[in-house]
Amino acid sequence: MNNTKLEWYTYSQIGSFGLDYVVLKKNLGRKRILKSGYVSDIYFKGADTIFIQLYKNSYIEFNKVNGFVIILDTLGHSINSSSMRGRQKNN
């Protein structure tokens, strides 16, 4: 687990809805796990389980990773304010 990291970043253009990317970085390789606009939290649960929380049941891309169990929690939990960077507010 020492050489394994989860990366979560948002890519957006000014004034656009930003998409979140969750990437697993292990040794020298990288694999995109998820592409969504609704990520609210990510973390490891133990050595081989990745937990990804979405505040809306919606994602564009989801990839499995050998050697890991990936849990997607799409029950609509409250929004993490740090995940709101680049989001447009609808009135």
Q: What is the residue extent of each domain of the chain?
A: 4-77
Q: Which of 32, 70, 65 is nearest to 54 (CA)?
A: 70
Average pLDDT over all residues of the chain: 80
pTM: 0.72
CA proximity to 56, closest of 78, 79, 38: 38
Per-residue pLDDT band at 52 (split at 50, 70, 90) = very high
Q: pLDDT higher for 66 or 91?
A: 66
pLDDT in tens, 6-47: 999 888 777 667 889 999 998 888 999 999 988 989 999 988
Q: How many CB atoms within 10 Å of residue 90?
A: 4
Alpha helices (runs of H) in 4-91, residue ranges in sequence order: none
Q: How far is CA 10 from the centre of its chain?
A: 9
